[in-house]
């Protein structure tokens, strides 16, 4: 067995420890912290992720994988990019929000189709919002039902689009 | 088009074949059932005024006669994936089940990978391999847009594919992962069948290239049979008409590995695999493979075979 390194190694995927007691690598979030964060911030129940394992690849970048293999594993991808950690405010990815954000109950800002188009184009906009500042899940009605579109940063009366460049579209 | 003349002895209505090869191909999208339902995708296309026509044989495929680009709401949400109609065939023939271990041996840019993930309900393990980092980037991007979480992407030559990264969580280091239940071998090929989409597809055609690439195809198919469990399924497919890249590759695998060709249903018009070409004869069972010519269903050209691993 190779000794477990105490620092993150960005060439491979390492499964998150279940709890802080099992943590070896400094600063690595735990599965418990990740589940609590989705629950506390967005009201997404932990059971949503009961069939997924979480992996760190690159400092703070967490991936969600629908299965389990031996850790670590040095490959190009393992599931879906999911969450950015190791910073004061954790940030979910657009992909995670589109896939799992339908279960969110808190910090969800529902916008009109026009406002959603502005957001998808990557543009910031002034919008009213009574809730917490910070990262929000942006939804709009598609085919008659609210659908999660991506992640916005709400500060000072403004919704700042966090849609990555490659996913922006002029609709 | 001169290259295609060599196939005149194989094709019943050769004039119709040539005429079809000259017609452009309509855009087709597949509904990504990991993120929505076919019903909601249709509603979203209606709402966005996108004209669409269902493809009869597959309820999640729609032709877009007005050739809509990817700038619309259902696309932004990852509900639609642009994919040529016949390219949806091999994943359906492979028929992966939820919870299985599946290998997509030549996966980039990921149309078939995301289709396999959807057929597996995004459960089990889907290993997607490619040997080109640039194309892996496209594969990753398509898998992300599709919301796929059961995929593991590897950068390697599929002929030397390693099962070691996929050993069980508590297994000893150095052990291999369990063999696959199914493998899709949709190999790089001379792409003759894409002539309707890429009119330049035949410009660099030469027999040396065909012979060279068939060596790679044989190696990948062998590795797929080796890494699939007894009783498991391997599907071999190309988008070319060249028997050197199709029946000849199957004939080689039948001789070298423990596998056999099996019958399968295909709800599209097609011809059977051939057993003689250019002075060579192939195992009789390669007739179980299917050749889809462009004039059969007004699609691109395609070749598909289903194998069972016997040891």
Compute the distance between CA of residue A124 and CA of residue A111 in angstroms, rounded to an integer.
Answer: 13
Average pLDDT of span A140-162? 97
Q: State yes or no: is B239 an active-site residue.
A: yes
Query: What mean pLDDT is reported for chain A?
Result: 95
Same-domain status, A27 and A77:
yes
> A140 near A113, Cβ under 8 Å?
yes
Which domain, by its residues, includes A32?
14-91
Q: Is the pLDDT of residue A61 over 50?
A: yes
Kindly report the nearest CA distance between residue B97 and chain A, in angstroms.
15
pLDDT confidence of residue B271: 97
Could you tell me if A80 lies within 8 Å of chain B, comparing CB atoms? yes
Residue with tokens 């980039």: B108
Is A4 inside a domain boundary? no
Going by pLDDT thresholds of 50, 70 and 90, the confidence category of residue B111 is very high
Verify that A115 and A150 share a domain, yes or no. Answer: yes
pLDDT over 60 (residue B263): yes
CATH code (residue B220):
3.40.50.150
Q: List CB contacts (< 8 A) between A66 and chain B.
A: 122-124, 149-150
CA B156 to chain centre: 19
pLDDT of the residue at A6: 73
Q: For position A3, what pLDDT does the model report?
A: 53
Residue B278 has phi, psi (to 5 degrees) of 55, 45
| Residue pointed to by tokens 């703070």 | A60
Distance of CA B19 to the CA centre of its chain: 25
Is residue B74 located within the same domain as residue B182? no
Residues A20 and A82 in one domain: yes
**Residue B258: which pLDDT band, with cuts at 50, 70 and 90?**
very high
pLDDT for residue B35 = 97
Instruction: Check pLDDT > 80 for residue A103.
Output: yes
On whether both B123 and B166 belong to a single domain, the answer is: yes
pLDDT of residue A4: 58
Rounded to an integer, the average pLDDT of B235-260 is 98
Region B224-237 average pLDDT = 98
The torsion region of residue B47 among left (phi > 0), alpha (psi -120 to 50) and beta comes to alpha
Q: What is the pLDDT of residues B4-52, one digit of tens each?
A: 999 999 999 999 999 999 999 989 999 999 999 999 999 999 999 999 9
On whether the CB atoms of residues B280 and B249 are closer than 8 A, the answer is no
Same domain? B267 vs B165: yes
Instruction: Report pLDDT for B1.
Output: 62
Residue A78 in this model has a pLDDT that exceeds 90: yes
- Tell which of B34, B43, B73 to mutate to test the A interface (max A CBs under 10 Å): B73
Number of separate helices (H) and strands (E) present in chain B: 9, 15
Say yes or no to pLDDT of B67 above 80: no
Q: Is the same domain home to B55 and B204?
A: no
Whether residue A75 is found in the same domain as residue A123: no
Q: How far is B209 from chain A (nearest CA, A)?
A: 30
Are B76 and B127 contained in the same domain? Answer: no
Q: Report if residue A112 sits inside a domain.
A: yes
* DSSP label at residue B3: G
Q: Given this model, what pLDDT does residue B283 score? A: 98
Whether the predicted pLDDT of A11 surpasses 80: yes
| Domain identity same for B53 and B146 | no
In this predicted structure, the answer to whether residue B94 has a pLDDT above a threshold of 90 is: yes
Domain count, chain B: 2
Does B124 touch chain A if contact means CB atoms closer than 8 Å?
A: yes
- SS3 for chain A is CCCCCCCCCCCCEEECCCCHHHCCCCCCCCHHHHHHHHHHHHCCCHHHHCCCEEEECCCCEEEEECCCCCCCECCCEECEEEEECCCCCCEECHHHHHHHHHHCCCCEEECCHHHHHHHHCCCCEECCCCCCCEEEEEEEEECCEEEEEEEEEEECCEEEECCCHHHCCCC
For chain A, how many structural domains are there in total?
Answer: 2
Which of B249, B247, B185, B256 minimizes the C-alpha distance to B214? B249
Q: What's the pLDDT band for B237 if we cut at 50, 70, 90?
A: very high
Of A44, A63, A91, the domain-final residue? A91
Predicted confidence band at B174 (pLDDT cuts at 50, 70, 90)?
A: confident
B154 and B280 share one domain: yes
Distance from chain centroid for Cα B171: 33
Interface check B78 vs A, CB under 8 A: yes
Residues B19 and B34 in one domain: no
Helix axes B247-256 and B207-226, enclosed angle (nearest 10): 40
Among the residue ranges A121-135, A143-157, B188-202, the one predicted with the least confidence is B188-202
By CA distance, what is A74's nearest residue in B? B165
- Judge if the upstream peptide bond of residue A72 is cis by omega within 30 degrees of 0: yes
Task: Give the confidence band of B69 by pLDDT, cuts at 50, 70, 90.
Answer: low
Give B279→chain A minimum CA distance, Å: 44
Asked whether the beta carbons of B307 and B259 are under 8 A apart, the reply is yes
Q: Residue range B83-90: average pLDDT?
A: 96
Residue B216 pLDDT level (bands cut at 50, 70, 90): very high
Phi-psi region of B215 (alpha: psi -120 to 50; beta: other; left: phi over 0): alpha
- Domain range enclosing B174: 2-25+84-309
B113 and B124 housed in the same domain: yes
Same-domain pairing of B125 and B48: no
- Residue A141 sits in a domain whose CATH number is 2.30.130.60
Residue A1 has a pLDDT of: 43
Question: In 3D, which of B264, B309, B255, B263 has the Cα closest to residue B282?
Answer: B255
For residues B67 and B136, membership in a common domain is answered with no
Say if residue B30 is in the same domain as residue B125.
no
């Amino acid at each position: 067995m190779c000794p477990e390194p105490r620092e993150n190694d960005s060439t491979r995927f390492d499964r998150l420890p279940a709890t802080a007691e099992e943590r070896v690598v400094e600063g690595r979030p735990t599965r418990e912290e990740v589940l609590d964060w989705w629950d506390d911030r967005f009201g997404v129940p932990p059971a949503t992720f009961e069939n997924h394992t979480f992996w760190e690849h690159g400092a703070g970048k967490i991936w969600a994988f629908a299965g389990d293999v031996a850790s670590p594993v040095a490959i190009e991808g393992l599931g879906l990019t999911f969450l950015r950690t190791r910073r004061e405010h954790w940030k979910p990815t657009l992909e995670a929000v589109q896939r799992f954000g339908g279960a969110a109950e808190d910090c969800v800002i529902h916008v009109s189709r026009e406002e959603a188009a502005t957001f998808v184009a990557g543009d910031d906009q002034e919008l009213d919002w009574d809730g917490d500042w910070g990262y929000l899940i942006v939804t709009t009605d598609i085919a008659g039902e609210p659908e999660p579109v991506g992640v916005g940063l709400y500060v000072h009366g403004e919704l700042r689009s966090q849609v990555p460049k490659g996913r922006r579209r002029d609709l | 088009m001169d290259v295609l003349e060599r196939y005149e002895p194989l094709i019943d209505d050769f004039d119709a074949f040539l005429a079809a090869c000259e017609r452009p191909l309509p855009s087709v999208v597949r509904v990504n059932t990991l993120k929505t339902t076919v019903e909601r995708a249709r509603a979203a296309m209606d709402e966005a005024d996108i004209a669409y026509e269902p493809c009869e044989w597959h309820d999640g495929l729609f032709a877009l006669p007005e050739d809509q680009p990817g700038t619309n709401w259902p696309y932004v949400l990852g509900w639609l994936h642009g994919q040529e109609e016949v390219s949806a065939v091999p994943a359906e023939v492979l028929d992966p089940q939820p919870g299985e271990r599946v290998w997509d041996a030549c996966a980039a840019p990921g149309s078939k990978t995301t289709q396999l993930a959807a057929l597996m309900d995004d459960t089990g393990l889907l290993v997607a391999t490619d040997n080109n980092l640039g194309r892996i980037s496209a594969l990753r991007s398509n898998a992300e847009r599709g919301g796929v979480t059961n995929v593991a992407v590897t950068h390697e030559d599929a002929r030397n594919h390693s099962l070691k990264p996929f050993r069980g969580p508590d297994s000893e280091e150095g052990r291999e992962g369990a063999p696959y239940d199914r493998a899709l071998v949709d190999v790089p090929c001379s792409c003759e069948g894409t002539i309707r989409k890429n009119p330049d597809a035949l410009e660099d055609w030469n027999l040396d290239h065909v012979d060279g690439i068939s060596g790679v195809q044989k190696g990948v198919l062998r590795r797929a049979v080796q890494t699939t469990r007894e009783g498991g399924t391997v599907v071999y497919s190309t988008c070319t008409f060249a028997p050197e890249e199709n029946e000849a590759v199957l004939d080689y695998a039948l001789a070298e590995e423990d596998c056999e060709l099996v019958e399968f249903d295909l709800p599209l018009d097609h011809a059977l695999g051939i057993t003689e070409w250019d002075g060579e004869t192939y195992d009789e069972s390669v007739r179980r493979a299917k050749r889809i010519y462009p004039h059969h269903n007004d699609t691109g050209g395609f070749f598909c075979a289903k194998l069972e691993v016997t040891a």
